[in-house]
Structure 1
Amino acid sequence: MTFTLIALLTTACIFAGILIFSEIGRRLGLAKLKRDPNGLANGVGAAESAVFGLLGLVIAFTFSGAASRFEERRHLITQEANAISTAYLRVDLLPADVQPEIRTLFRRYLELRSNSYQSTENQTATRQKLDETAALQIKIWQKVLTASRKPNEPVSSATLLLPALNDMIDITTTRAMATKNHPPFIVFLLLAGLSFAGALLVGYDMSDNRERSLLHTFAFAAIMSLALYVIIDLEFPRLGFINIDKADQVFMELQKSMN
């Protein structure tokens, strides 16, 4: 089952759950009115304000965090491309006889990095590409280190190239951890639970109407479920409709400049 399908099913369940809890709240309100024709319970405004206030706070918190992480992951792609480009340019500092081999390794490395996160739903393929990347990093590092230690080789070549190469390697770990950086699952459960509680209160408050207000009920359910879907989609920008695939264009442009 694909991520998009799972996200859509989750959204549908939230939507249905809100409708169900809204109807439960309405029936509780109708039962209250039958027992007490004077009206629904008074003095519950503070409790409702607390529930909806907390609901709004959690939505703002999760949405802001998801959007921030989305932008961070996109910026990390550009940072890695810049790191690779800088290290590649500084290969000119090495002896001319070793440059062709190292440049070939760099081009292979860039190709791997540009494709590493293209199919994250296939975890086996992604893991294989990341393993190949790690092996290639070691190979490039050893080649550069050996070349920079050659007799009569200026110390400046190692001084300038090795830090750039180190940055190129370090950014891969940063990007890998960024893909795993998500809020605790309990936050999403809290968001769903508050949505259901809000729907219960909405249905209860509207029970004194003679007819159901389908517009308000469905609008509330649609808005809450859509907000949750957008948050989930932002949290996994390689799997859903909202993605950062266009940011990989910087790798394509870098590949053209290396050829």
Structure 2
Amino acid sequence: MAIDRHDQREALEEAEANAIGTEYLRADLLPPKASLATKDLLMQYLDQRILFYSKQDQEKIHDIHLKTDRLQNALWQEILPIARSNQTATIALTVSGMNDVLNSQGYVQASWWNRIPSTAWTLMTAIAICANLLVGFGARNFKKNIALFMIFPFVIAVSFFLIADIDSPRGGIIRIEPRNLITLKKILNTQMNTQSPSSGSHSASP
């Protein structure tokens, strides 16, 4: 259960990076002024998405959510007037790409909220306690080999630790790293620097 959720979060991070990268390219279909503004907003948005995956305190996480919401609204408002006044296939493609960008963030957030239910933890804990009690009851007459009976509780404890760690995407040892988002940022920065040395100032480092 925890591993499936972990794999899903990694897949959604990749999908989000693809959505942002695709929309960055489709922004060239917009009028020049709107294209530059949209690309700049997408770079700022990409920075916030990378920060989302990093280990932060609750106050910082709340700040990231607020900035992300503002940038999403700004991105949508940037293309909305164009979509209303110029209803062509190319503009529709750009609008569809922006919709994918906004939706991908929602899918990621939902997957991070989707944790192992407390009832499942309660059931696993009850099973572990019962199993350890049975092992302890069976070991009462085997004092010489008592160390062997400690293996089972140790394995149970390690298993619980791994499950809890995998089910905590922001903290712990096993985390979701924004590898695809970071790679995308490097590629876009390289493209911007190649096209215009001064354009690199549009993006803020995470």
Q: Same fold (TM over 0.5)?
A: yes
Pair 133,207 (structure 1): closer, same or farther in 2 beyond 3 Å: same
CA gap of 1:258–1:205, structure 2 versus 1, over 3 A, is same
> 195, 204, 207: which is aligned to 2:140?
207
Amino acid corresponding to residue 199 of structure 1 in structure 2: N
Q: What is the letter of the counterpart of residue 205 of structure 1?
A: G
Q: Corresponding residue for 1:135?
A: 70
Letter in 2 for 1:91: A
After TM superposition, the structure 1 = structure 2 runs for residues 52-71 of structure 1, keeping only pairs within 5 Å, are: 65-71=1-7
Counterpart of 1:146, as a letter, is P
Shift >3 Å, 4+ stretches: 147-150
Aligned mates of 1:119, 1:199 — CA distance in 2:
35
Q: CA deviation at 1:183?
A: 2.1
1:118-172 superposed Cα distances (whole Å, 9 cap, x missing partner): 124x12211211111111111111111223445xx56123210001100110111
- Residue in 1 that maps onto 2:93: 160
- Paired residue for 2:186? 256
Amino acid at match of 2:79: V
Is the contact made by 1:76 and 1:175 (CA closer than 8 Å) also made in structure 2?
yes
Aligned-residue CA RMSD in angstroms? Answer: 1.6
Could you tell me the TM-score, scaled by structure 1's length? 0.69
What is the percentage of aligned positions where both structures have the same residue? 27
So what's the TM-score if we normalise by structure 2? 0.85
User: Which structure 2 segments of 5+ residues have no match?
Assistant: 190-206
Number of equivalent positions = 189
Paired residue for 1:240? 172
Q: Distance in 1 between matches of 2:66 and 2:33?
A: 29
User: Corresponding residue for 2:109?
Assistant: 176
Indicate if the aligned counterparts of 1:195 and 1:224 stay in contact, CA closer than 8 A. yes
Unaligned segments of structure 1, at least 5 residues: 1-64
Residue by residue over 1:167-214, the C-alpha shift from the partner in whole angstroms, topping out at 9 and shown as x without a partner, is 1101111111111111221221222222121121112223333x2522
Deviation at residue 238 of structure 1 after TM alignment: 2.0
Is the 2:24–2:42 contact (alpha carbons within 8 Å) kept by the matching residues of 1?
yes
- Tell me the residue number matched to 1:102: 38
Are positions 1:230 and 2:165 aligned together?
A: no
Higher relative contact order (CA 8 A, sep 6+): 1
Matched-pair contact (CA < 8 Å) for 1:117–1:126: no
1:133 counterpart letter in structure 2: T
Q: Give the aligned partner of residue 21 of structure 1.
A: none
Q: What is the aligned counterpart of 2:28 among 84, 92, 105? A: 92
CA distance in 2, matches of 1:96, 1:154: 17
